[in-house]
Amino acid sequence: MKNNLFCIEGKVVVITGGYGILGSQMAMYLAEEGVRVVILGRSKEKGEELEKKIKSNGGDATFFVSDVMDEENLVQNREDILNKYGKIDVLINAAGGNMPGATIPPDKTIFDVEIDALRKVVDLNLFGSILPTFIFAKAMVDHKYGNIINIASETSFRPLTRVMGYGVAKAAIANFTKYMAGELAIKFGDSFRVNAIAPGFFITEQNRALMINPDGTYSDRAKSVLAHTPFRRFGESEELLGAIHYLISDASKFVNGSILVVDGGFDSFSI
Ligand SMILES: NC(=O)c1ccc[n+]([C@@H]2O[C@H](COP(=O)([O-])OP(=O)(O)OC[C@H]3O[C@@H](n4cnc5c(N)ncnc54)[C@H](O)[C@@H]3O)[C@@H](O)[C@H]2O)c1
């Protein structure tokens, strides 16, 4: 008999930041694997466009307008998802990002950082995962099953220059992932798991300005990333899909509190 360790068909998977570069790749892939995908995001237009695209490929997807910083909105999302699908199996916290005032250009120092922007970036990248986790985990606990996947980063382990606020929050996401892995399993049992993936460097909207010069060439920062990556290239967003599939599936049933690094060797490399 064929085993079904990697079968994820029929699972209800909610993705915050669902039409972002990484989120939308995951949404499209998971729908092809028979997952019922719930796309959350702030723009109705972008969300509905992705929902339509997935449906036109024969997949099951639903979009709801959602701001990960708005508790009331998230509670409404939870009710809407339960009304439609009756359960939430998996939450992928893929909303996140940076903003100019919170990053430190090479000719500036931390004394030039805009504190309000810094606070917003920390809030988005930390509370933007904490709030959905708390709110959707409630539905998971009621249903006696739950699986949460956070998106950490290289800067969860070691600081990257220029992106202090983002790094502080992503380091906290690594800790939060492990904390919640213990918390949910101890209180509610072994059908609850919390893990993270730590993507290396992928060119997406949130880092394009840091990596690509206006004339299309690589920035000095991009060159230094590549020099520090044994694969000597950036990742392609579809290269995260295997890790996501694995963490959703029963193949990782005993994996709890892990941070799965997908980075062409960046994190393990020195010189
Ligand atoms: N691209 C990379 O190299 C890389 C590396 C490591 C980690 N990550 C992380 O992966 C995740 C996805 O990022 P991405 O690269 O696809 O970037 P992206 O900018 O394409 O996607 C992020 C999404 O989050 C959404 N978002 C921002 N604020 C929100 C809010 N308040 N409510 C709801 N949605 C909101 C954005 O609109 C966007 O759709 C982020 O957590 C990011 O930090 C990315």
State how far the Cα of 150 lies from the Cα of 259, in Å rounded to an integer: 9
Note the pLDDT of residue 205: 74
The CATH number for 175's domain is 3.40.50.720
**Is 117 in the same domain as 215?**
no
Note the pLDDT of residue 1: 56
Distance 19 CA to ligand 1 centre (A): 9
Measured in degrees and rounded to the nearest 5, phi and psi for residue 141 equal -65, -45
Note the pLDDT of residue 229: 97
Distance 166 CA to ligand 1 centre (A): 11
Q: Domain tally for the chain?
A: 2
- Choosing from 22, 65, 166 the residue with most ligand 1 atoms within 8 A of its CB, the one to mutate for a pocket test is 22
Is 244 inside a domain boundary? yes
The secondary structure element, H or E, covering residue 65 is strand 60-65
pLDDT band (50, 70, 90) for residue 2? low
* 144-148, 201-205, 241-245: least confident range: 201-205
- Choosing from 206, 207, 229, 259 the residue with most ligand 1 atoms within 8 A of its CB, the one to mutate for a pocket test is 206
Is 230 inside a domain boundary? yes
**Is 229 in the same domain as 117?**
no
**Is 181 in the same domain as 213?**
no
Q: Which residues are catalytic?
A: 166
Confirm or reject: Cβ of 229 under 6 Å from ligand 1.
Answer: no
Percent composition of the chain: helix, strand, coil (DSSP 3-state, to 5)? 50, 15, 35
207, pLDDT greater than 90:
no
Q: What is the mean pLDDT of the chain?
A: 96
Note the pLDDT of residue 100: 86
Which pLDDT tens digit goes with each residue over 12-51?
999 999 999 999 999 999 999 999 999 999 999 999 999 9
Note the pLDDT of residue 204: 81
271, pLDDT greater than 90:
no
pLDDT band (50, 70, 90) for residue 208? confident
The mean per-residue pLDDT over the stretch 173-180 comes to 98
Note the pLDDT of residue 223: 96
**Is 211 in the same domain as 79?**
no
The mean per-residue pLDDT over the stretch 194-223 comes to 90
CA distances from 44 to 13, 132, 160 (A): 19, 19, 34
pLDDT band (50, 70, 90) for residue 62? very high
For ligand 1, atom 7, name the residue with the nearest CA: 153
The mean per-residue pLDDT over the stretch 239-253 comes to 98
Residues 6+ away with beta carbon under 8 Å from 229: 200, 201, 263, 264, 265, 266, 269
3-state secondary structure of 120: helix
The secondary structure element, H or E, covering residue 77 is helix 71-85
The mean per-residue pLDDT over the stretch 133-160 comes to 98
**Is 142 in the same domain as 28?**
yes
